[in-house]
Amino acid sequence: MDMKANQTGQTSDFAFLYNNAACGLISFDLSGKIHEMNQTLRRWTGLEDSQTDNLIFPDLLEKGSQLYFQLFVYPLLKMHKEVKEINFQIETESESFQCLFSAKVIMGSGQDDNMLVHAVIFKVVDRKKFEDELRLKKKKAELETLQKDETLKKVASDQSHLVRAPLANVLGLIALLEQTEMTGESKELLSMLKESANQLDTVIRNIVITANT
Amino acid sequence: MIFAHGFGCDQNVWRYLIKAFENNYRIIVFDFVGSGQSDLSAYNSQRYSSLEGYASDVLEILERLNLKNVIFIGHSVACMIGLKAAVTRPEYFQSLIFVAPSPCYMIDDSYNGGMERAHLDALFDVMDSNYLGWSSSMAPLIMGNPERPELGEELTANFCATDPDIAREFARVTFLSDNRADLKMLKTPSLTLQCSSDMLAPVEVGHYIHENTAKNTLVILSATGHCPHMSHPDETIRTISSYIKNDKF
């Protein structure tokens, strides 16, 4: 770690702060090769100094996070020089935990190859539980809405069929009645009956249409 | 030359290659629906439930711009999208350039696609917990607001933003589909650029494509990773240029 300061005391203060920060700090180049890693992150990952010499950063991640790094995070680091709050699962031989990863790419001596990724890693064990709970609830709510929709559709479709059969009979019987001899008053009543039956038919048709769209 | 980005980012990934070719070629770049600054309202789960939907979009672009003799450059999943487009309408294409392609990402008895189902499920899970640069309040911005230029700044911050719901479906179409049968139907000449160490597509995949595709040239790059066009642009540009120059179409 290159920490040039005028006073030796200050340097060691910086080094102390770096190593004992409340978050993991790591620097790696764009090929993934790890350059620096603070003691906090070493403690969290259980990795000794010598063990990180031949590791690349994605080696610290679980497989799904590795794939995510390749697909989403690498392009951002390379082309945008920054990523924020990526949720990864860190997985080493002895340790495994959820973290948030934020990083900036800092140019070295102006050459693309000299770019270093400086990353901050926060353990998010408790927050993750809360988040998982929310995701679970969301999934459950989505499923319930879907099931409700299906049930509603089925009820509407079944019930309308059940109601329409006798209604069809009523309409048929009205048509037969119309052909019989009737007094003026009966005719009027029959006409009103027919109108109401037709209205009911329209309402039921609309329910079926709405349920099926 | 038309550049088609792969799963996970948008047209921004082509910056180095565009710079190298823009003096000699007419360059077309675009964002697949759901990615970058595409019109999210154009998404339709049915149409995009297979790569054919995306291939139709490529053909629509070529048709609308009235292009011929196109060199199609695709990355990752876009290679198979381009291949499907060229199988359907070969008359548009001069050649296809596949950057880190794979016709099938999953391993089976006789084929090493590189990934197990469990790895993919783990990826889908990580995707679900990372709404990268996206929130529903941003959606109207992404859908384009030419009359409000001040939103441009926020859009830049939205680099490679992907609608999470679309990304979820696109990921499944990308990684769970098997397009190996399409290789044999391609008549257009093609170049396969395979990286020497790519966790998404092992070198065997490059050989598989080469052996099963007519008029295919295979180059194994010394570049590692899944994105040689970003990580090793010089080698990628050199290889593409020499292929375009030397091959007689």
> In this predicted model, what pLDDT tens digit does every residue of B199-239 receive, in sequence order?
899 999 999 999 999 999 999 999 989 999 999 999 999 99
- B127 vs A contacts (CB less than 8 Å): 68
- Show the domains of chain B with their CATH numbers: 2-246 (3.40.50.1820)
Average pLDDT of the residues in A10-30: 90
How near does any CA of chain A get to the CA of B62, in Å? 27
Q: Of B170, B149, B137, which is closest to residue B49 (Cα–Cα)?
A: B170
- B174 vs A contacts (CB less than 8 Å): none
Q: Under an 8 A CB cutoff, do B132 and A86 touch?
A: yes
- B132 vs A contacts (CB less than 8 Å): 72, 76, 86
Catalytic residues of B: 76, 198, 226
| Joined tokens for residue A16 | 């102390």
Question: Given pLDDT bands bounded at 50, 70 and 90, which one contains residue A61?
Answer: very high
Residue in A31, A75, A87 nearest the CB of B8 = A75
Tokens 């710079």 — which residue? B19
Q: What pLDDT is attached to residue A147?
A: 94
CB-based contact, B119 to chain A, within 8 Å: yes
Q: What is the pTM of this model?
A: 0.79
Q: Under an 8 A CB cutoff, do A63 and B159 touch?
A: no
Spatial contact of A127 and A182, defined as CB atoms under 8 Å apart: no
Please name the residues in contact with B5: beta carbons below 8 A apart, sequence gap of 6 or more: B11, B12, B13, B14, B31, B32, B35, B36, B75, B78
- For chain B, which residues score pLDDT lower than 50? 139-146, 148-156, 248-249
Q: Under an 8 A CB cutoff, do B227 and A78 touch?
A: yes
> In this predicted model, what pLDDT tens digit does every residue of A106-165 receive, in sequence order?
986 555 567 899 999 999 988 888 888 888 898 899 999 999 988 988 888 788 788 888
Q: CATH 1.20.58 residue ranges in chain A?
A: 132-211
Cα B48 to Cα B42, B83, B105, B173, B229: the distances in Å are 10, 16, 18, 8, 26
Instruction: Quote the CA–CA distance of B234 and A194 in Å, as a whole number.
Output: 83
Q: What pLDDT is attached to residue B149?
A: 47
Q: Under an 8 A CB cutoff, do A72 and B130 touch?
A: yes
CB-based contact, A88 to chain B, within 8 Å: yes
Ordered DSSP codes for B145-199: -TT-GGGHHHHHHTTT-B-HHHHHHHHHHHHH---HHHHTT--S-EEEEEEEE-T
CB-based contact, A51 to chain B, within 8 Å: no
How near does any CA of chain A get to the CA of B115, in Å? 10
Q: Which residue of A has its CA nearest to B160?
A: A76
Ordered DSSP codes for A12-62: HHHHHHHHH-SSEEEEEETT-BEEEE-HHHHHHHT--GGGGTT-BGGGGB-
| Joined tokens for residue B193 | 């650029």
Question: Given pLDDT bands bounded at 50, 70 and 90, which one contains residue A62?
Answer: very high
- B202 vs A contacts (CB less than 8 Å): none
Q: How far does CA B21 lie from the centroid of its chain?
A: 18
Instruction: Quote the CA–CA distance of A88 and A74 in Å, as a whole number.
Output: 13
Q: What pLDDT is attached to residue A7?
A: 53
Instruction: Quote the CA–CA distance of B90 and B62 in Å, as a whole number.
Output: 12
CB-based contact, A31 to chain B, within 8 Å: yes
**Amino acid at position B200, single letter:** L
For chain B, report the end-to-end CA distance as a whole number of angstroms.
15
Does domain A132-211 match CATH 1.10.357?
no
How near does any CA of chain A get to the CA of B77, in Å? 11
Q: What pLDDT is attached to residue B190?
A: 97
State the DSSP code for A7: S
> In this predicted model, what pLDDT tens digit does every residue of A85-99 receive, in sequence order?
899 999 999 999 999
Spatial contact of A106 and B43, defined as CB atoms under 8 Å apart: no
Residue in A64, A70, A74 nearest the CB of B122 = A64
Q: What pLDDT is attached to residue B192?
A: 97
SS3 category, A170? helix
Ordered DSSP codes for B97-134: EEES--S--B-BTTB--SB-HHHHHHHHHHHHT--TT-
Q: Under an 8 A CB cutoff, do B199 and A70 touch?
A: yes
Please name the residues in contact with B168: beta carbons below 8 A apart, sequence gap of 6 or more: B124, B127, B128
Number of other residues whose CB lies within 10 A of the CB of residue B148: 9
CATH number of A8-123: 3.30.450.20
Query: Most A CBs within 10 Å: which of B102, B130, B172, as the mutation test of the A interface?
Result: B130
Q: Of B226, B225, B220, which is closest to residue B239 (Cα–Cα)?
A: B220
Spatial contact of B41 and B146, defined as CB atoms under 8 Å apart: no
Higher pLDDT, A8 or A195: A195
Element housing A177 (H / E): helix A125-178
CB-based contact, A59 to chain B, within 8 Å: no
Q: CATH 3.30.450.20 residue ranges in chain A?
A: 8-123
Instruction: Quote the CA–CA distance of A198 and B233 in Å, as a whole number.
Output: 73
CB-based contact, B7 to chain A, within 8 Å: yes
Q: What pLDDT is attached to residue A161?
A: 80
- B231 vs A contacts (CB less than 8 Å): 30-31, 74, 78
How near does any CA of chain A get to the CA of B227, in Å? 8
CB-based contact, A102 to chain B, within 8 Å: no
Q: What pLDDT is attached to residue B181?
A: 95
Q: Of B214, B192, B215, which is closest to residue B205 (Cα–Cα)?
A: B192
Spatial contact of B172 and B77, defined as CB atoms under 8 Å apart: no
Q: Which residue of A has its CA nearest to B124?
A: A64
SS3 category, A198? helix
Tokens 């998982």 — which residue? A132
